[in-house]
Amino acid sequence: MKVKIYGQGDESQELLNKVNNSLEDLGLSDFMEVEVTLDENLKNELSISKEPALIIEEEAIDFKDTIFEGIIPSDEEIKSMFISIIGGGDEGGSGCSSGGCGTCATGCG
């Protein structure tokens, strides 16, 4: 899976840093490729009108979509997005509803 940041400047760099930090926190940094792009064809294909834009691309299933555009989401929003995409953290599952890591042996709370 690829994560693309469309744009340039300080806001795009801030979004890139947040994405990289979120992937690191979730232990996914070795499994996802992150890049910054100014590809006009991609911009036109996804009708991107505002920078920065966060794009998810999965070549195996021919999927490409803009997830956030013109905003810098919070770290928690970015992490939640990645968890949703990779299929973890389903409701009532093993994740901690209090925002914990979900890995404690005795459960949270």
> Any idea what the CATH number is for the domain that residue 80 is in?
3.40.30.10
20 inside domain: yes
36 inside domain: yes
Count of structural domains, the chain? 1
By residue range, what is the domain housing residue 25?
Answer: 2-86
The model's pTM is: 0.76
pLDDT tens-digit map of 71-107: 999 999 999 999 988 875 444 333 333 344 443 343 4
104 inside domain: no
Integer Cα distance of 27 and 103 in angstroms? 13
94 inside domain: no
Cis check: omega of the bond before 73, within 30 degrees of 0? no
